[in-house]
Structure 1
Amino acid sequence: MSEIKEYKCPACGGAMEFDSKSQKMKCPYCDTEISVDEYESLIAKADQVVAADAASDVETEQKKSENYTAHDWNQDEIDNMVVYICQSCGGEITADKNTGATTCPFCGNRVVLKGQFEGALKPDYVIPFKLDKKAAKEAYYKHLTGKAFIPSVFRQENHIDEIVGLYVPFWVFNIESEADISYDAEKIRVWKSGDTEYTEHKYYKIRRGGTIYFEHVPEDGSVKMDDALMESLEPYDFKDAVPFKSAYLAGYVADRYDVDQDECMKRAKKRIRRSTEDSFRETVNGYYALSTQSSTVNIRDSKTSYAMYPVWLLNTTWKGQKYTFAMNGQSGKIVGDLPADEGAFWKYVGTRGILISVILYIIMMVVMFL
């Protein structure tokens, strides 16, 4: 069995969580609050004691694992699965190999899985949640406002309760881009002299060159996350980023990265090239027509960081199609597509049609008897 890290309240023993409002560790049972740094120091000392006791139990656990037989899982599932023991209730927590923080399904204890964010897997930074679940719900309801034909399931409270706070792994790049771009441009002047109209065409060759430095370009490092959806949640303000400590994950779900740095760098370079070309094109003004003749954009220098960004996530399936809504846990920006209930739409059209027909009939009757 793999190890987990629990965040117990030093006052009452309840499960502590990172509180987005106070930016401290908070116990929901006795309201004890403590800073992340202070709490990390406390659990570091406690871990030393636990490690000494656990050493004597290793042999027993090894014997148990030798007698364990998996009957219902194929080998691929077993290879991607890790089993943890909850230290509060003794229940087994089953997770995939990339899960970094989760909740015990038996007692609701919030846990961070040891080893998932250590050594080379440890993030450099984390942007802590600034908005809580209540704010996520309010943003979701606001997103539904004015949309008349949404299926009722999207408005149900039990559905809204499924919103999950998730730390998504991101590779963050600082990149210097050097560009050399040429354009074909045209100016047109039209004027009249007497009864004659003249049109003058002037053609130009325009060249732009220089460097642009891009800071904190994020690319999500999770296979589970839709890249376009994550890009839609931008921007994140990196000034709120702090050195990573696992205590920030308490009370939320988190995954470590499973898309490597090089693959994310390829996506980042494509975005940088587009942004570079757009930025240079914006400097060429006052022409009737403008087209790019040639474009050379080179990535000269780059620096990479590994960070965890906050996202509130809601997944729903309706009529066999998956709908995902996401909210930036720092800024509150929400994105997601909504379906239209065709039955509700045609019911509305039919009702309006009958009402209009009745009104027209009454008007005709009044006209006839005047």
Structure 2
Amino acid sequence: MAVISFKCPNCDGELIFDPSTQKYKCEYCFSLFSQEELDAMKPAQTTEPQNADAAGAGKASGKPEDKKQSQPGNKAGSGAEKDNTENKESDKEAGKEAGKEADAVTYTCPSCGAQIVTDATTAATFCYYCHNPVVLGGRLEGKFLPDQVIPFSVSREDAEKGFKDYVCKKKFVPRAFYNKKQVESITGVYFPYWHYNTSLEGKMQGEARNVRVWRTGNTEYTETKYYQVSREGDVKLENLTENALGKANQELICGVMPYDFKDVKKFQLGFLSGFLAEKRDIEKKQIEKKVQQEARESAEKLMREQINGYSSVSIKNADFRALKEKWSYTLLPVWTITYKAKNGKIYYFSMNGQTGKVYGELPIDYKKISLVSGIVSLVTLVILLLGGLA
């Protein structure tokens, strides 16, 4: 697996993508480089293939030691069946562990040579020892090479400020959720999506009604006219997105939608430097029918809106088919913070890395609520007592 780190040609420091300038910045000498200049550089990389077996010394083999074999005194019959059952259970447990180990992969940091373990969908991360950013190029090759990316345009500083401004408006959030250490843990992550553009042709037929009511003297009259209506034409839909990561928190990634695809760019590995990135594990065929159905429903709604001027409309038949389709494997930016409460529940805060839109489920400090309630009750009691004395 190619493990890539982008180096500054001036001081050999690490280059990261800077959202505020949309260039690559050296954190040591503060030099800035354009995409064209980065393309001309040769990134530092290690290429030795590695997996969890190298780190786990055979844990991923799925073949546990059989301590029951060749032991004196074992006899055929119920005792032998018991041993066999126990071995099968051990095999099952070992198989589960093997699956977990197989999902883990080790890599060598190009900067310090440390061995780091990641899960199967991580495509960009940081070395835990030297803290330099690395891109796992092997995760983003062939069919897993993204077509496009919307780079971060919200900087870390702006994300931290946005988080503090959002939380400080909430009166009953635990202080541990927004202390300095927690705020500094905010992480920029590229999440994988399927991006879909389509053009459809369709037609629909239905029945429309116009109702007129009037009164003459004491008599009320109602007139209902019925019309057969139809519409046909082409509908163009753009920028439909569908999550492509099975482990992603749906509320987190949907809460920060939508993105403005005018900023979408052809994918370059350099955009990932300085951020985390996830590789897709949901394929197009798994979500294709769902997205196409959503597109047809959207097209039908748009065409239905062209039938107006009636009291009511009932659609009897609608038929749409795609003329053109374009699927793009896309990475979209999110700033995120997670917080584990004392009861074990995990809370998420997320911010759209392009637009700054925030979404979060915030924890509640019930001690603060009790304290405020107690103070309010005490003040109310004092006022009542003073009023009674007066």
**Cα deviations by residue, 1:340-364 (Å, 9 ceiling, x for unpaired):** 4444334433322331232232223
C-alpha distance in 1, partners of 2:169/2:25? Answer: 37
SS at match of 2:193: strand
Using the TM superposition, give the Cα deviation of residue 9 of structure 1 relative to its aligned residue in structure 2, in angstroms: 1.7
Give the match for residue 253 of structure 1.
276
Give the match for residue 383 of structure 2.
359
Give the partner amino acid of 2:361. Answer: D
Bigger shift: residues 245-254 or 235-244: 235-244
Q: 1:188 to 1:149 in 2, by over 3 A?
A: farther
C-alpha distance in 1, partners of 2:385/2:227? Answer: 68
C-alpha distance in 1, partners of 2:259/2:22? Answer: 17
Give the match for residue 28 of structure 1.
27
Give the match for residue 336 of structure 1.
360
Give the match for residue 69 of structure 1.
57
Using the TM superposition, give the Cα deviation of residue 155 of structure 1 relative to its aligned residue in structure 2, in angstroms: 2.5
Using structure 2 for the length normalisation, give the TM-score: 0.81
Q: Say whether 1:10 aligns with 2:9.
A: yes
Q: 1:192 to 1:335 in 2, by over 3 A?
A: same
**Cα deviations by residue, 1:4-37 (Å, 9 ceiling, x for unpaired):** 1112222222221111111111111111111122
Q: 1:291 to 1:223 in 2, by over 3 A?
A: same
Give the match for residue 79 of structure 1.
102
Structure 1: which 4+ aligned runs deviate by more than 6 Å? 65-68
C-alpha distance in 1, partners of 2:279/2:364? Answer: 35
Bigger shift: residues 195-204 or 216-225: 195-204
**Cα deviations by residue, 1:28-55 (Å, 9 ceiling, x for unpaired):** 11111111221222116x66xx8xxx8x
Give the match for residue 190 of structure 2.
167
Match of 1:132 among 155, 163, 166: 155
Give the match for residue 113 of structure 1.
136
Match of 2:176 among 131, 153, 177: 153
Give the match for residue 300 of structure 1.
323
Match of 2:285 among 234, 237, 262: 262
Using the TM superposition, give the Cα deviation of residue 204 of structure 1 relative to its aligned residue in structure 2, in angstroms: 4.0
Give the partner amino acid of 1:326. Answer: S
Q: 1:67 to 1:10 in 2, by over 3 A?
A: closer
Give the match for residue 226 of structure 1.
249
Contact 2:55 2:106 (C-alpha < 8 Å) held by counterparts: no
Give the match for residue 39 of structure 1.
38
Give the partner amino acid of 1:121. Answer: F
Using the TM superposition, give the Cα deviation of residue 81 of structure 1 relative to its aligned residue in structure 2, in angstroms: 1.3
Q: 1:336 to 1:278 in 2, by over 3 A?
A: farther
Using structure 1 for the length normalisation, give the TM-score: 0.85
Q: Say whether 1:194 aligns with 2:217.
A: yes
C-alpha distance in 2, partners of 1:365/1:335? Answer: 50
C-alpha distance in 1, partners of 2:113/2:137? Answer: 17
SS at match of 1:262: helix
Q: 1:284 to 1:352 in 2, by over 3 A?
A: farther
Using the TM superposition, give the Cα deviation of residue 281 of structure 1 relative to its aligned residue in structure 2, in angstroms: 3.1
Using the TM superposition, give the Cα deviation of residue 247 of structure 1 relative to its aligned residue in structure 2, in angstroms: 0.9
Using the TM superposition, give the Cα deviation of residue 287 of structure 1 relative to its aligned residue in structure 2, in angstroms: 4.1
Using the TM superposition, give the Cα deviation of residue 70 of structure 1 relative to its aligned residue in structure 2, in angstroms: 4.0
Q: Say whether 1:214 aligns with 2:237.
A: yes
Contact 1:233 1:328 (C-alpha < 8 Å) held by counterparts: yes
Using the TM superposition, give the Cα deviation of residue 141 of structure 1 relative to its aligned residue in structure 2, in angstroms: 2.5
SS at match of 2:181: helix
C-alpha distance in 1, partners of 2:383/2:256? Answer: 48
Q: 1:68 to 1:361 in 2, by over 3 A?
A: closer
Contact 1:3 1:85 (C-alpha < 8 Å) held by counterparts: no
SS at match of 1:43: coil
Q: 1:346 to 1:209 in 2, by over 3 A?
A: farther
C-alpha distance in 2, partners of 1:338/1:203? Answer: 53
Contact 2:59 2:101 (C-alpha < 8 Å) held by counterparts: no
Structure 2 residue ranges without an equivalent (≥5): 61-93
Give the match for residue 118 of structure 2.
95
Give the match for residue 349 of structure 1.
373
Q: 1:352 to 1:113 in 2, by over 3 A?
A: same
Give the partner amino acid of 2:316. Answer: Q
Using the TM superposition, give the Cα deviation of residue 101 of structure 1 relative to its aligned residue in structure 2, in angstroms: 0.6
